[in-house]
Amino acid sequence: AQSVAQPEDQVNVAEGNPLTVKCTYSVSGNPYLFWYVQYPNRGLQFLLKYITGDNLVKGSYGFEAEFNKSQTSFHLKKPSALVSDSALYFCAVSDGSSNTGKLIFGQGTTLQVKP
Amino acid sequence: EPEVTQTPSHQVTQMGQEVILRCVPISNHLYFYWYRQILGQKVEFLVSFYNNEISEKSEIFDDQFSVERPDGSNFTLKIRSTKLEDSAMYFCASSVAGDTDTQYFGPGTRLTVL
């Protein structure tokens, strides 16, 4: 069965500092991995995805994520955090062999960036 | 930029009543989804829908649930007889054919069952 774990409920960083939001996954086949962000009263917004190829994936708003197969991780990173990055972040996985689009989400990590 | 919209933003209903949650996906999208998030828990997949058929459904999506695309623009989720445990935020999403993994989500409908 596919699953995603986000071990931190909340991550606090100071503005300008680098940030990392952690995600580990478990999937039987080739994983397709995603990060979504949710701002208050808004739907989930797609940030980036890894399907195949380069392990470092770049996405929206300066975010990037690194796929690490040996550690089954897909951590979200940003070199310099902004206060406006404060939001709820979800890691998700889908089974690459399925074309139904079913996403399995982690429980979410609240990112708090302080000025 | 086109967006997925959902109505109502908040629905309060009595246990045993039927509710219909409405979504307008992005116009050129062909795949449609419903997810739900019970307060404090994960976002959970309910169902995916393509070409007027359910592509996949989860264990949560039992006989009390149904989906429909009644016209060219709306995508609805019906819960026939609501239970207290159906209280959750329900998200609709859509995607283009050929890129089902990049899903665009609506803002959600908060369903409260009393």
Minimum Cα–Cα distance from A100: chain B residue? B55
Q: Give the model confidence (pLDDT) of B69-102 as tens digits.
A: 988 789 999 999 999 999 999 999 999 877 877 8
Q: Give the model confidence (pLDDT) of A29-69 as tens digits.
A: 788 999 999 988 778 899 999 988 889 999 999 999 999 99
Distance, CA of A35 to CA of A64 (rounded, Å): 9
| Residue A74 at interface with chain B, using a CB cutoff of 8 Å | no
Q: Give the model confidence (pLDDT) of A1-34 as tens digits.
A: 788 999 999 999 999 999 999 999 998 878 899 9
Q: Are A100 and B105 an interchain contact pair (Cβ–Cβ within 8 Å)? A: no
Task: Return the percentage of chain A with pLDDT > 90, whole number.
Answer: 73
Q: Give the model confidence (pLDDT) of A70-102 as tens digits.
A: 999 999 999 999 999 999 999 999 876 666 788
Distance, CA of B48 to CA of B32 (rounded, Å): 6
| Residue B44 at interface with chain A, using a CB cutoff of 8 Å | yes
Complete DSSP assignment for B34-83: EEEE-TTS-EEEEEEEETTEEEEE-TT--TTEEEE--SSS-EEEEESS--
| Residue B42 at interface with chain A, using a CB cutoff of 8 Å | yes
Distance from CA of B80 to the nearest CA of A (A): 23
Contact of B101 with A94, CB cutoff 8 Å:
yes
| Residue A31 at interface with chain B, using a CB cutoff of 8 Å | no
